Amino acid sequence: MNDILKRLSERFPVSNIVHQRENMVFVTLQKINSIPCISYLKEFEGFTHLVMLAAVDFIEDGIFQLTYILHNYKLHTDIGIRVKIEREHPVMESIHTLWAQARTYQQELKEMFGIDFPGSPGIDEPFLLEGWQNIPPMRKDFDTLKYSQETFFPRPGRKSYDPQKYMKQKLYPDKEPE
Amino acid sequence: MKKDNRLLPNNDVPDVERDYFCDAYPEPVKPFQGFIEKFLNWARANSLWILGFGTGCGAIELRPLMTARFDMFRYGMAPRPTPRQSCVFVIGGYASIKTLKRIVRSYEQIQAPKFVLALGSCTINGGMYFDSYNTINRIDHYIPVDVYVTGCMPRPEALIAGLRKLQELIKQGKAEKANEYIKNFEWYKANQKKVIKDWNMPDYNW
Amino acid sequence: MKDKDREKFPELVDGKAVIDLDSQKFLKVWQGPQHPGVTGNISLEVTLSGDEVVDLKTHVGYLHRGFEKLMERRKYLQCFTIVCRICVPEPDTNEYVFAAATEQLAGITIPEKAKWLRTLTLEMARLASFLMWIGGQAGALGMGTIAQWTVAQRDYILDLFEELTGGRVYHMYIVPGGVRGDIPDGFIEHVEKVMKGVEKVLYDVDIALLNNAIFKMRAKGLGYISKDMVDEYGIVGPNARAAGLARDIRKNSPYLIYDQLDFKVITGTKSDALERTFIRFQEMVQCVSLIRQIINKMPKNGDYHTRIPNPLHWKIPAGETYVRAEASRGEYGYYMLSDGTEYPRRVQVRGPSYTHAIAVLEKLAIGTNLADLAALMVSLHTCPPEIER
């Protein structure tokens, strides 16, 4: 694994290398270098299996982090590539020419986060939601409890307890609540 | 009884398909009286045919019902593939918006007398998906429910107990929720249209 | 299955057919959300020319509950109650992968006996899932009795689960830190009895299904997956093993105690629906043998749970990880990212049917008969709840 990383850092500017497990590494790349790096890993280093493409919303930093996870079946190692893209108009290059299965992941990310992958087949068709007229639901500024209480009819009488506060009150009933 | 001559607006059907659908207003079915209704209720109760549409998690416990261990065929119940041939709709658990549209369509296509059995706690108050943006919280605001069976999931024996209770209700003449649906048609339709945003069906799926 | 005279069928350009819907030669049919062999709801929009499928589009989303958003609102230990409902016929794989990801991020190691108990639960869940699947595969081709036998036998495995964990379908047994309870008295004898019953049923299924002339004729050549399709489409599990590639996570990157068990990776050569059925059948027999090895080799004494911090105040250190397990359908994985608080930041689930049921099915269905389409879908072992969570 270390010599793969050495060869990779000679060719591309990788940063923030984290060895999560014995055979799993996460690296960060810039958006402009990420697709050439992924193609290099697929063609020359044997990472032929695209495991998943995930997106994480960091609303406080104003970015989305895309994570591409690739797997090498000969060495049984994984590599995760983190790419940060901006949150206002999120656009990323599509990898459906490398892996035909990627178009499903990209379709879902467009619907759930709003990240556009121009050129991906079927990118604008609704995938999981039907008749959805709100902001993409997996973003952090979408409050799912509020939406559910307003749109659907919650049955009255449901009480929710914060487990911490409840246990504190039960165990120490004389103490002042903080 | 005065015949209802109202017509359904059917506003959301595309114009090219408008004459495929019937636009008569649904009417409640008046039951017979006395001995004939008792006989018909006995016949209905002992031949409940279930629509084989597994809508959610609860469908996983519908399949063992048909095997020899729990054996629902001895009560006269059988799974049928189409709504036209069935009379019980078993709603297995949560209903997402996409599935709710199909539930409403299938329910209205079942011919009266029809009954609904709701499984699981997701149908009662949303269950563990109470804060989800895609599942509904109370199924009885969209279609009328006769019997609820609690659990997550209910065992097949609990399902059979629920179906037996439905049989008792039918024999007593109390399972008339299909008529209530038509009497409160405007309210149910407004609830459904509030949630299902891309309505491209007729207002009542005959 | 395919006509020799291809004049009346549309030509294929890049694998997709050139269709003119106005020419009245094609028919669009909707094979709706219910399928008797598939545990879930998925729709197929099929374009037909005569009896042969020329185009297919899948529609998913009937079972979308927004799990990933729900998990961001619940603490780690509250999450594990909803995680098992992501995949309905085989919930234990979800629990294990979630627990393993949490333990990796938090730096917890679990005791030895807990590993054996987890492996036992996983293998029993695999067997139950396979028994349900083979009923669906036979039923899709017209043989309904096989489903009655196998689903009835699967019920006895669910009885075992009820004795061990308390629930028939959803167990919530594998928690971060170990398992929830030890095996009760008399459990080992019950397991042995149920395994004998499963072997009898498998013997009957072998005679009735795998030696059946109609099944062999209909399933031969159905849904042929070539070797280069496997990596391009991300095909995993028995589907990839039938194509000739010996890929099994339990052997390649062993987790729990699979390196102490004795089993072989089962591969095939012909890679059509018939071969996939043979391979899954042999994996069922292998599951029975693995369960017997586990109950014989399991240590008698030991802790089944390790001490974890107070679950109401448990903060997991920041980091990200990806953990995988071999379910009955293939590689099941969770990507988890935590930012140091009590709530997970992002959990994404990768189910094997995510690639099988959408991209692969749309490619394989072109050229099949309409009557065999359901059998093709079941032979890829589609399970819709894990596609749309």
Which H/E stretch holds residue C379?
Answer: helix C373-379
CATH at B167: 3.40.50.12280
Q: For chain C, how long is the longest CA-to-CA vector? A: 73
- The answer to whether the CB atoms of C169 and B64 lie below 8 A apart is no
- The answer to whether the CB atoms of C64 and B102 lie below 8 A apart is no
ipTM of the assembly? 0.87
Q: How confident is the model at residue C195 (pLDDT cuts 50, 70, 90)?
A: very high
DSSP string, C158-191: HHHHHHHHS-SS----EETTEES-PPPTTHHHHH
The answer for residues whose C-beta is within 8 angstroms of residue C9's C-beta and 6 or more apart is C3, C17, C49, C50, C52, C54
CB-based contact B29:B112 (threshold 8 Å): yes
Tell me which chain A residue has its CA closest to the CA of residue B130: A148
User: B57 touching C, CB under 8 A?
Assistant: yes
Count of domains for chain B: 1
Mean of the pLDDT values across residues C355-360?
88
Subunits with at least 3 CB pairs below 8 A relative to chain C? A, B
pLDDT winner (highest mean) among A22-26, C72-76, C201-205: C201-205
The Cα of B97 is separated from the nearest Cα of chain A by a number of Å equal to 7
Mean of the pLDDT values across residues B72-77?
90
User: A12 touching C, CB under 8 A?
Assistant: no
B106 belongs to a structural domain: yes
- The answer to whether the CB atoms of B99 and C33 lie below 8 A apart is yes
Which residues 134-193 of B are in CB contact (within 8 Å) with C?
Answer: 134-135, 152-153, 155
User: A125 touching B, CB under 8 A?
Assistant: no
Q: What is the pTM of this model?
A: 0.90
What pLDDT does B2 receive? Answer: 54
B137 belongs to a structural domain: yes
Tell me which chain B residue has its CA closest to the CA of residue C145: B67
The Cα of A99 is separated from the nearest Cα of chain C by a number of Å equal to 5
| A chain contacts of residue C322, beta-carbon cutoff 8 Å | 24, 51-52, 69, 78, 80
CATH classification code of A2-171: 3.30.460.80
Mean pLDDT of chain C: 87
Whether pLDDT at C199 is above 90? yes
| C chain contacts of residue A167, beta-carbon cutoff 8 Å | 312
The Cα of B94 is separated from the nearest Cα of chain C by a number of Å equal to 8
- The answer to whether the CB atoms of C66 and B99 lie below 8 A apart is no
Q: Please give the Cα distance from C255 to C277 (Å, whole number).
A: 26
User: Of B150, B26, C323, which is closest to residue A51 (Cα–Cα)?
Assistant: C323
Q: Taking the domains of chain A in order of start, what are their residue ranges?
A: 2-171
Task: List pLDDT tens digits, range C40-55.
Answer: 889 999 988 888 888 8
Q: Taking the domains of chain C in order of start, what are their residue ranges?
A: 79-311
Task: List pLDDT tens digits, range B151-165.
Answer: 888 888 899 999 999
Query: Looking at the partner chain, which of C70, C312, C319 has a beta carbon nearest the beta carbon of A20?
Result: C319
Whether pLDDT at B49 is above 90? yes
User: Of A71, A17, A55, which is closest to residue C335 (Cα–Cα)?
Assistant: A55
Whether pLDDT at C218 is above 90? no
Beta strands in chain C (DSSP E): 12-13, 16-17, 27-31, 43-49, 52-59, 174-175, 178-179, 319-326, 331-338, 346-350
Mean of the pLDDT values across residues C335-344?
88
The Cα of C201 is separated from the nearest Cα of chain A by a number of Å equal to 36
What pLDDT does C292 receive? Answer: 92
- Which residues constitute the domain of residue B177? 49-195
Task: List pLDDT tens digits, range C80-90.
Answer: 888 888 888 88
Whether pLDDT at C280 is above 70? yes
Mean of the pLDDT values across residues C207-217?
88
C79-311 fold: Cytochrome-c3 Hydrogenase; chain B (1.10.645)
Whether pLDDT at C1 is above 50? no
Q: pLDDT under 70 in chain A at which residues?
A: 175-178
